[in-house]
């Protein structure tokens, strides 16, 4: 494969243990669900070989994912086929909104505050539910967020800071913004060379495009699902998450269609070749401005 693709794979494998199951979830959510959602084991093994993931590791990962009810397995004769389970599809659909959707630019100037109630166990459960929706913790029992659409358990308040400086300082108290910023900078550095190569030399072969596309979304997903995606007024002007989203969109725009072509020509489900995507890949990141080749990317 092209040098920059090989470098991405080397960085992916530098983390141990290799989380093959998580990579498979990204593959299905990003590339297989839009094409019917089912994939033959033989096709999955062929794709995973391009990621340097062994057959043994894939089979072990799929058994675990089925056992966790994230995937469903179907056998027809000697052939095996996999698909995300309804809970698995729902989980990735929620993730897709954060991965491919538009960044939040505006804010009405108010925070949502939730005071948790009940026993310690009940408060712990409610805290986890609120955190899953992007809320942060000001204290053990006081959650803070933006939006106010959820009606999970707790006493609900709307609060408007008296000073702009107060509004800017609160997010750092409630969310791990420094950790997120560090991870975004690492992502930007990891994919900077890929961006330069793709926009300087053009896309590599179709299978390599699939590898880049899945690794890109896999690495971005690992960060963005922990990001509350605060509106622009609450973040620093040089917030690296903005560069990461622009970089992700720019690379995706180059590799998405060639990767899809490879899937259409090589991957199969129970009926044969995978069906056409339900929606064009161009609809993803549709609200993201194009990242110029000359734009600086955080190292």
In-domain check, residue 7: no
In-domain check, residue 145: yes
DSSP state of 35: G
C-alpha dist (Å) from residue 18 to 10, 46, 194, 223:
11, 18, 22, 17
Q: pLDDT-based confidence at 254, cuts 50/70/90?
A: very high
Question: What mean pLDDT comes out for the span 114-132?
Answer: 91
> Which of 132, 160, 188 is the last residue before a domain boundary?
160
Question: What mean pLDDT comes out for the span 19-34?
Answer: 94
In-domain check, residue 66: yes
Tell me, what's the pLDDT at 145? 92
> Which of 160, 191, 223 is the last residue before a domain boundary?
160
**Residue of 87, 81, 94, 89 lying closest to 39 (CA atoms):** 81
In-domain check, residue 56: yes
If asked whether residues 117 and 80 sit together in one domain, one would say: no
Q: pLDDT-based confidence at 296, cuts 50/70/90?
A: very low
Rg for the chain (alpha carbons), in Å? 21
Q: How many CB atoms lie within 10 A of CB 149?
A: 7
Range of the domain at 124: 111-160
Asked if 143 and 136 count as a contact pair (C-beta separation under 8 A), the reply is yes
pLDDT digits (tens, 9 = 90+) for 63-113: 999 999 999 999 999 999 999 999 998 888 888 989 998 888 888 899 999
Q: Report CA 37 to chain centroid distance, whole Å.
A: 18
Asked if 24 and 230 count as a contact pair (C-beta separation under 8 A), the reply is no
In-domain check, residue 264: no
If asked whether residues 72 and 122 sit together in one domain, one would say: no
If asked whether residues 22 and 63 sit together in one domain, one would say: yes
If asked whether residues 84 and 115 sit together in one domain, one would say: no
Looking at residue 78, which CATH number applies to its domain? 1.10.10.10
CA distance 263 to 161: 51
pLDDT digits (tens, 9 = 90+) for 188-247: 999 999 999 998 888 889 999 999 999 999 999 999 999 999 999 899 989 999 999 999
> Which of 38, 57, 88 is the last residue before a domain boundary?
88
pLDDT surpasses 70 at 56: yes
In-domain check, residue 154: yes
Count: domains in the chain: 2
Tell me, what's the pLDDT at 172? 92
Q: Lowest mean pLDDT: which of 10-19, 165-174, 246-255, 287-296?
A: 287-296
Question: What mean pLDDT comes out for the span 266-291?
Answer: 83
Asked if 20 and 61 count as a contact pair (C-beta separation under 8 A), the reply is yes
Work out the mean pLDDT of the chain and round it to a whole number.
90
In-domain check, residue 43: yes
In-domain check, residue 140: yes
**Residue of 146, 143, 145 lying closest to 154 (CA atoms):** 143
């Amino acid at each position: 494969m092209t040098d920059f693709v090989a470098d991405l794979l080397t960085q992916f494998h530098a983390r141990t243990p290799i989380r093959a199951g998580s990579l498979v979830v990204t593959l299905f959510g990003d590339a297989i669900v839009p094409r019917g959602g089912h994939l033959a084991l033989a096709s999955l093994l062929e794709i995973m070989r391009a990621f340097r993931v062994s057959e043994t590791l894939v089979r072990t990962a799929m058994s675990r994912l089925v056992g966790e009810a994230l995937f469903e397995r179907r056998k027809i004769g000697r052939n095996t086929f996999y698909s995300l389970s309804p809970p698995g599809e729902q989980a990735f659909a929620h993730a897709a909104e954060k991965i491919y959707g538009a960044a939040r630019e505006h804010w009405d100037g108010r925070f949502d505050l939730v005071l948790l109630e009940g026993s310690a166990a009940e408060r712990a459960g409610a805290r986890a539910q609120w955190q899953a929706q992007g809320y942060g913790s000001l204290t053990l029992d006081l959650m803070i967020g933006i939006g106010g659409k959820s009606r999970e358990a707790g006493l609900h308040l709307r609060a408007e800071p008296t000073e702009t400086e107060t509004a800017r300082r609160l997010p750092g108290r409630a969310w791990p913004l420094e950790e997120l910023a560090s991870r975004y900078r690492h992502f930007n550095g990891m994919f900077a060379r890929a961006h330069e190569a793709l926009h300087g030399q053009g896309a590599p072969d179709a299978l390599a495009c699939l590898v880049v596309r899945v690794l890109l979304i896999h690495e971005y997903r690992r960060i963005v699902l922990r990001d509350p995606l605060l509106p622009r007024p609450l973040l620093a002007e040089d917030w690296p998450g903005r560069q990461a989203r622009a970089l992700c969109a720019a690379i995706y725009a180059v590799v998405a269609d060639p990767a899809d072509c490879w899937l259409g020509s090589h991957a199969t489900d129970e009926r044969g070749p995978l069906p056409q995507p339900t929606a064009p890949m161009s609809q993803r990141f549709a609200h993201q401005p194009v990242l110029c080749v000359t734009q600086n990317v955080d190292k």
